Amino acid sequence: MTDARHALIIANDRYTDQGLKQLKAPAQDATALAGVLHDPQIGDFDVDVVRNAPADAMRRRIQGFFSDRRRDDTLVLHFSCHGLKSESGELYFAASDTEPRLLDATAIPAQFVRGCMSRTRAGRTVLFLDCCYGGAFSRGSPSVRATGEVNVLESFTRERPGGRGWAVITASNSMEFAFEGDELAENSAPRPSVFTHAVVEGLATGEADLDADGEVSLDDLYDYVYEHVQEQNPNQTPSKTVEMQGELQLAHSRRGRIKIAAIPSPPSLLAAVNSDNAFTRQGAVLELRSRLQNESLPLAEGARQALEDVARNDIRQIADEASRALRDIKLAPSPDRLDFGLVPKGSPLQEKSVTMNGPPLARHCVAQPAQSWLRVEPTANGFTVRVDATTEGPLSGDIALKGVADEAVVHVEAVVGPSRDTRPPEATAEPANGSVHDPDTVVVAPSDPRTGADGTSAPTVGDGMPHAGTGPSHAGPHGKGGQHADPHGKSPQQGSQGQEGTGQEGTGQAAPERAGTGQAGPEQAAGRAGLPSHRASALAGAALALAATAAVTVILGIRAVVVAALDRGQEGQTGDLDHNVHQQGVLPLLTVTMITAVLALVVGAFARHDLETLGRRDAEPAVHGTRSMASVAKGLAVPALIVAVLILVGYMIAAPHW
């Protein structure tokens, strides 16, 4: 969000007057709403919370909140308190020291709030009223009588506020109750109000992003809250009034959404789609279905949009054909249910693969785990799912898949049991925390630009933690089950079964070479793994030496050129630049510079190529040093080569004339 965004949350749940019931929800409502509005990934508001303040303090805070604003500012004011009506029909908001018989002096008039909204220079203002009107007074209280109806929205539409727009959303209309939980009983435990809970839930989860465009607009939020509140309690009806130019985006949405810039179908094809001849339109649908399979996602998206238009508007026979074509790009994860079974507590992240089937457009989606113990990483053909075995007990969760026009769910289950190993657990991802939910979201692409020649994809970090055995299985050197050694010399199968030195896949068995099976053990595997690193270090060192030689010789060449030019200047008309250049040995120096610089770049390229084959081992300190040497060599060789070429070109141009 680029504009300044400010929110003021007023929550009053304690009242000195005995005639006003103590409320239960405002305190926790204020905390939850402040958190979601302040979150830079959601609302990105500068939030201020006022709790149980007296009337004079509330007036100061409200007026100060609306003062000194700019045209680009967006303001949100939220009331969670009692709403009171005077005998003259005016609406008031109760402060902690409110006396129902002295509302003008001890409560906040709606007219005062409306006046502040009218005078503010802020561009847009939104007012949320989570107030209980009909249930404001304890049973039998003689303090005041609630006669007639409280027309809440009418209190804010008698005069138009300033700025580019404003909106008022109320938890309930007229004399309805604004329910806390499912009742208004005085002796129930604190629970969030139905209205504010819906606002917080819709923003926090992104479910209020009804049009799935990545933003939660004011209309999105109201429609979500209205439906949620009505489901919880049909006797409470949220209401809204809006006077605003354009659409107000209240928050970002955490719901992943794939959006592809479509390339429209050719005009001739679109003309066929709109033809009066049914057979022509039918042929156009077949062509669009063919384009739907295209490897180019923008082309396929353009065909999908055209087919959707046909499915909505054409005659039944042709519309059915378009619908059948669109079913080709439905998300089809395989499998759509993963059961990890019993997983030892503290074991490394367990992994299973999910393949996305269908054409490229059907494989392109966003995968978002709903639980923090789930990890998702994209692969060439789908994604891998990992389970964090930090917390003991049964685990059950979902991974939501969202494509351009379809959604699917992969269900995941596991049971984390007692550890089978007395060794300290290896470092895993962050432990699951039930109070914090911020799962990773990854884009599953139909093809990975990092895919190697053998069809395997480079490991992609989705959660910032090291993962063992991220690559797919390949046959070992003796045709055994594809086992990959991690930096500690263990295979992923060994980590998942909690065993040492064993692990079977099919009929093959992985065991150390010293056991006589002919396969390399951890020591031999580690030795072989170090060879590329040593070779890369040697190449990088050679490249650095060559680059340093090039740098030295180009400096000597520059010095020789300067001396030759000075000598030529002193000789006057009888001088010869070519003679002076040869006398100072400029050309041999430049030749050595260019040769050593080119060799340094070639050798450095080989060193960097070897580094790229090391995979996860690129975290080793030795490899960091090798990478630095290769970079320094390139930084020396390139300028030296450029300077040498420029000097040589300058000499060739100047020699015949000087």
- 253, 214 Cβ separation under 8 angstroms: yes
pLDDT, tens digit (0-9, with 9 covering 90-100), for 333-344: 999 999 998 888
Using DSSP bridges, classify how beta strands 74-85 and 46-51 pair: parallel, antiparallel or unpaired.
unpaired
Pick the range with the lowest mean pLDDT from 288-297, 366-375, 566-575.
Answer: 566-575
Predicted local distance difference test score (pLDDT) of residue 339: 92
Predicted local distance difference test score (pLDDT) of residue 254: 62
Nearest 10 degrees: Cα torsion 209, 214, 218, 220: -20
How far lies 274's CA from each of 271, 283, 427, in Å? 5, 12, 61
- Domain locations in the chain as residue ranges: 5-252, 267-329, 334-473, 530-657
How far lies 612's CA from each of 312, 490, 504, 620, in Å? 51, 22, 30, 13
Which pTM value belongs to this model?
0.45
Reduce the DSSP state of residue 236 to 3 states and report it: coil
Report d(CA 206, CA 460) in Å as an integer: 26
Q: Do domains 5-252 and 334-473 have the same CATH topology?
A: no
Report d(CA 302, CA 297) in Å as an integer: 9
Q: Which CATH number does the domain 334-473 belong to among 3.30.450.40, 3.40.50.300, 3.40.50.720, 2.60.40.10?
A: 2.60.40.10
**Average pLDDT of the residues in 209-231:** 86
Asked if the model's pLDDT at residue 49 lies above 90, the reply is yes
The alpha-helical segments, DSSP class H, found in 39-153 are 55-66, 103-106, 110-119
Q: Which CATH class is domain 5-252?
A: alpha beta
**Count of beta carbons in the 10 Å neighbourhood of residue 354:** 23
CA atoms within 13 A on the CB side of 396: 1
pLDDT band at 631 (very low <50, low <70, confident <90, very high): confident
Pick the range with the lowest mean pLDDT from 319-333, 510-524, 565-579.
Answer: 510-524
Predicted local distance difference test score (pLDDT) of residue 257: 59
pLDDT, tens digit (0-9, with 9 covering 90-100), for 80-128: 988 888 877 788 899 999 998 898 999 999 889 988 988 899 989 999 9
pLDDT, tens digit (0-9, with 9 covering 90-100), for 548-591: 998 999 899 898 888 888 887 777 766 777 787 788 888 888 89
**Count of beta carbons in the 10 Å neighbourhood of residue 464:** 8
Predicted local distance difference test score (pLDDT) of residue 45: 94
pLDDT, tens digit (0-9, with 9 covering 90-100), for 251-277: 887 665 567 888 888 889 889 988 999
pLDDT, tens digit (0-9, with 9 covering 90-100), for 442-497: 777 775 444 333 333 333 333 333 333 333 333 343 343 444 434 344 444 343 33
- What percent of the chain is modeled with pLDDT above 90? 23
Asked if the model's pLDDT at residue 74 lies above 90, the reply is yes
Predicted local distance difference test score (pLDDT) of residue 519: 42
